């Protein structure tokens, strides 16, 4: 549902109808015009452009916006740039590899005191060789058109909505792809109810209020959770509505199956352990344990283990809290421990999750400047029915010789 005119081009990539020009040689840019229609004061808008480098060498592009020649307004200060690979980091230049396309985010932030009118300017892209073989600089000019209006346009789109596989007692997670095609920021809300296929309602007025969506922003994220404790196995339906600013934009239903406990396989593995901190006497250091849920069901995971110096048990250790690992997802479990004396230490432990546990993994660190070899076995774990599946993966690392204390930082072993 849309109120007023649609937003047209506001998107996180160049508009769909903007096609790469045929027979481009050397360098180029598309689309030829960057447009921001129906922009409201005080909002930021995202669009995109693509730089083309068909040469056999990488080229460095430097980009900048120019002021509005007709009105004299300095709209150049409204414009900033980032690469699509790192959209949160603003840049003014980037390298396009040989025979490639470079996707650039163009952000336009409209000042709160901007007059309601049309603005036009340009973005220039200066391209130069990175090898020093040529001093020739190629300049490309791209038109920039911004229309500032006082009229609010609301248009929020609900894309895919899906649920995870669960058993009785597991939380149902409802995720959705939401796109804000409005010219204002919105805080969407999902309102839902759950009933069995026979029509019996088991939950109502479930609500998930989402974080602020900027104009043209798109996210796929969890929108609702439901605790299936004490429910009966069977087929169910989630009926939902998408609301924003008091307006309903979408509604629908999606089915899911609540399986009996123990039906879905539980499996996982410790993929690695990384130490952080000085690891020297008198310090408190941290181990990051990377756990991958390879089963078919979401699992809450926790590391439990022991810290040794030589053959002496120093202290039991565990991660501070359980972390939810979706099926197929990697999560990091943080373990903090004191280092009382220098010397070779060994961390031993396993990850427990949903009644299952991994085989024991070990990782070592040492002080005093002597090199050593550390090993980290990584294992799969209990599947449904109690069958034990073990897949051993060993990572070996040699630490370089250095004087104590160790340098602060992360080392994966």
**Chain segment 11-50, per-residue pLDDT in tens:** 333 333 445 455 445 788 888 899 998 898 888 999 889 9
Q: Residue 410 above 70 pLDDT?
A: no
Q: Which two tokens stand for residue 202?
A: 């088991």
Average pLDDT, the chain: 79
Report residue 68's pLDDT band, with 50, 70 and 90 as the boundaries: low
**Is 268-412 the same fold as 154-259?**
yes
- Architecture per CATH, domain 268-412, reads as Sandwich (2.60)
Work out the burial of residue 178: count CB atoms within 10 Å of its CB; fewer than 13 is exposed, 13-18 middle, 19 or more buried: buried
Averaged over 50-58, what is the pLDDT? 89
**CA–CA gap between residue 354 and residue 370 (Å, rounded):** 41
Angle at 91 between CA 86 and CA 96, to 5 degrees: 75
**CA–CA gap between residue 31 and residue 24 (Å, rounded):** 13
Averaged over 331-347, what is the pLDDT? 92
2-148 domain in CATH 1.20.58.340? no
Q: Is the whole model's pTM more than 0.85, yes or no?
A: no
- Architecture per CATH, domain 154-259, reads as Sandwich (2.60)
- Per domain, the residue ranges of the chain are 2-148, 154-259, 268-412
């Amino acid at each position: 549902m849309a109120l007023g005119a649609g937003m047209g081009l506001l998107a996180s990539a160049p508009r769909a109808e903007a096609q790469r020009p045929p027979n481009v040689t050397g360098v180029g840019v598309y689309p030829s015009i960057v447009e921001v229609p129906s922009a409201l004061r005080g909002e930021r808008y995202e669009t995109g452009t693509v730089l083309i480098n068909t040469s056999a060498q990488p080229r460095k592009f430097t980009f900048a916006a120019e002021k509005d020649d007709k009105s004299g307004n300095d709209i150049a200060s409204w414009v900033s740039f980032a690469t699509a690979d790192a959209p949160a980091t603003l840049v003014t230049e980037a390298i396009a590899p040989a025979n490639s396309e470079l996707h650039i985010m163009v952000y336009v932030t409209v000042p709160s005191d901007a007059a309601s009118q049309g603005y036009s300017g340009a973005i220039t892209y200066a391209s130069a060789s990175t090898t020093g073989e040529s001093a020739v600089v190629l300049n490309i000019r791209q038109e920039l058109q911004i229309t500032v209006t006082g009229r609010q346009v609301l248009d929020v789109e609900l894309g895919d909505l899906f649920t995870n596989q669960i058993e009785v007692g597991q939380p149902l997670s409802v995720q959705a792809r939401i796109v804000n095609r409005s010219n204002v920021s919105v805080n969407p809300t999902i309102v839902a109810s759950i009933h069995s296929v026979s029509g019996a309602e088991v939950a109502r007025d479930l609500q998930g209020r989402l974080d602020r969506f900027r104009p043209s922003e798109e996210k796929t994220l969890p929108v609702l959770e439901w605790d299936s404790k004490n429910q009966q196995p069977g087929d169910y339906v989630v009926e939902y509505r998408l609301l924003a600013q008091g307006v309903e934009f979408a509604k629908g239903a999606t089915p899911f199956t609540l399986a009996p406990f123990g039906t879905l396989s539980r499996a996982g593995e410790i993929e690695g352990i990384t130490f952080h901190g000085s690891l020297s006497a008198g310090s408190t250091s941290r181990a990051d344990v990377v756990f991958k849920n390879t089963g078919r069901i979401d699992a809450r995971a926790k590391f439990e283990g022991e810290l040794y110096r030589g053959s002496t048990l120093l202290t039991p250790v565990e991660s501070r809290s359980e972390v939810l690992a979706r099926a197929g997802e990697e999560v990091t479990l943080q373990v903090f421990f004191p280092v009382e004396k220098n010397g070779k230490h060994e961390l031993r432990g396993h990850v427990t999750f949903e009644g299952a546990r991994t085989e024991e993994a070990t990782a070592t660190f040492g002080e005093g400047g002597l090199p050593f070899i550390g090993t980290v076995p990584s294992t799969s774990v209990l599947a449904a029915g109690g069958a034990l599946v073990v897949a051993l993966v060993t990572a070996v690392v040699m630490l370089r010789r250095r004087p104590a204390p160790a340098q602060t930082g992360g080392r994966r072993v």
